[in-house]
C-alpha cells in the first residue's frame, strides 16, 4: 500500500501548490517557469542516483507529460491567483474516472480482475461516488459550468499523463526511475517555457523581485515533491486512476489549513467528511484485494 502513502503526499502538495498562488497572486506564466526551473535545479544533484531505462517510450512519455503538466499548471495557477484555488480541483473527478476506466479497458488483466471481483468493483464505484459528491458539495459557490469547461481539459490530459506514466514505468528500481522521469519532465518544461517567455517578451525584471522569488520557491518545492510522489504512486498503484482519486482530497486539506490559520472558509465540514470517507473506502477495498 505504499502507493496510497505517496498518493496522500501528492494530494497535499497539489493543495498547497495552488494555495501558494492564491496568496501570492503572481503571473501564471512566470510562476510555472519558476517552479520548473526550481525543480530542475533541485533534482540535478541526484542525477548519479537516477536510473535511465533503454526504452525510448519512457523519454517520449516524460516529454509529453511535461508539456501537458505545464499547460495544466498555468491554468491552475491562473485560477488560484483569482482567489479561487479550490476551483482548480474541479477537474479531479473527471481525471480519476477517465484514468480508472481507460486503464481497466486497455489492460485485460485488470478488466478480468474487476469482472471476477464484484466487491472490489462495487467498492471502487461507491468510493468514487462519495468522493465526487463530497467534492461538489464542499462549497457549491465554487461550482459553475463555465469554470468546469476551463478545467475539464486539464482533467482529461492529466488522466492521459497518469496512464502514459504507468505504462512506461518499470516494476523494479522504481524510485531511481521516478527521479529520472521527473527530472526529464522538469528539464523539458524549463526549456520550453523559457523559450516561450522570451518569444512572448514576458521575461522581465518582475520575475526577480523578492515576492516573485519567494512564491516561485514555495510553488517549486510543492511541485517537485508533488511530481515525485505522483509518479511513484502511479507506478505502484493497481490503477493510475486510484492516485487521481486520492488527489480529490485537495479541498479537504485546504479546509483544514484555512481552519488552522483562521482564514475565512465557508466549506462544508460534512461534505469534507463524506469525501474523506470515500477515500478511506478506496484504500480499504484495494488493501483487501492486495492482501
Q: What is the mean pLDDT of each run of 10 residues along the chain (291 residues)?
A: 93 90 86 94 97 96 95 82 61 90 91 89 95 83 62 86 95 95 97 93 87 92 96 96 94 90 82 95 88 54
Backbone angles phi, psi at 82, to 5 degrees: -90, 15
Give the start-end residues of each E strand in the chain: none
Q: Cβ(245)–Cβ(279) under 8 Å?
A: yes
Question: So where are the chain's domains?
Answer: 2-290
Q: Cβ(278)–Cβ(129) under 8 Å?
A: yes
pLDDT (0 to 100) of residue 27: 86
C-alpha span between 156 and 61 (Å, rounded) = 16
C-alpha span between 194 and 33 (Å, rounded) = 7
- HSE-up (13 A, CA, CB side) for residue 37: 15
pLDDT (0 to 100) of residue 208: 87
> How buried is 75 (Cβ within 10 angstroms: 0-12 exposed, 13-18 middle, 19+ buried)?
middle
C-alpha span between 14 and 30 (Å, rounded) = 18
pTM of the model: 0.92
pLDDT (0 to 100) of residue 281: 96
C-alpha span between 56 and 103 (Å, rounded) = 21
Contacts of 132 (CB under 8 A, 6+ apart): 93, 248, 278
Amino acid at each position: 500500500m505504499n502507493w496510497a502513502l505517496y498518493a496522500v503526499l501528492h494530494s497535499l502538495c497539489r493543495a498547497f501548490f495552488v494555495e501558494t498562488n492564491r496568496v501570492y497572486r503572481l503571473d501564471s506564466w512566470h510562476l510555472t517557469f519558476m517552479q520548473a526551473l526550481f525543480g530542475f535545479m533541485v533534482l540535478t544533484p541526484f542525477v548519479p542516483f537516477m536510473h535511465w531505462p533503454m526504452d525510448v517510450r519512457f523519454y517520449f512519455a516524460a516529454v509529453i507529460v511535461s508539456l501537458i503538466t505545464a499547460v495544466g499548471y498555468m491554468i491552475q495557477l491562473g485560477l488560484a491567483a483569482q482567489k479561487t484555488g479550490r476551483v482548480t480541483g474541479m477537474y479531479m473527478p473527471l481525471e480519476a474516472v477517465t484514468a480508472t476506466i481507460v486503464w481497466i479497458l486497455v489492460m485485460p488483466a485488470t478488466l478480468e480482475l474487476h469482472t471476477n471481483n464484484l466487491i472490489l468493483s462495487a467498492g471502487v464505484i461507491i468510493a468514487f461516488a462519495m468522493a465526487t459528491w463530497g467534492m461538489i458539495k464542499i462549497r457549491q459557490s465554487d461550482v459553475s459550468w463555465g469554470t468546469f469547461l476551463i478545467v475539464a481539459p486539464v482533467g482529461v490530459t492529466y488522466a492521459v499523463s497518469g496512464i502514459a506514466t504507468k505504462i512506461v514505468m518499470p516494476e523494479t528500481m522504481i524510485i531511481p526511475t521516478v527521479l529520472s522521469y521527473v527530472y526529464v519532465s522538469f528539464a523539458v518544461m524549463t526549456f520550453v517555457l523559457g523559450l516561450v517567455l522570451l518569444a512572448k517578451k514576458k521575461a522581465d525584471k518582475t520575475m526577480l523581485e523578492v515576492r516573485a522569488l519567494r512564491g516561485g520557491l514555495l510553488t517549486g518545492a510543492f511541485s517537485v515533491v508533488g511530481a515525485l510522489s505522483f509518479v511513484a504512486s502511479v507506478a505502484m498503484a493497481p490503477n493510475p486512476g486510484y492516485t487521481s482519486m486520492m488527489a480529490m482530497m485537495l479541498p479537504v486539506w485546504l479546509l483544514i489549513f484555512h481552519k488552522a490559520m483562521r482564514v475565512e472558509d465557508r466549506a462544508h465540514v460534512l461534505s469534507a467528511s463524506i469525501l474523506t470517507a470515500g477515500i478511506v473506502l478506496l484504500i480499504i477495498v484495494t488493501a483487501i484485494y492486495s492482501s
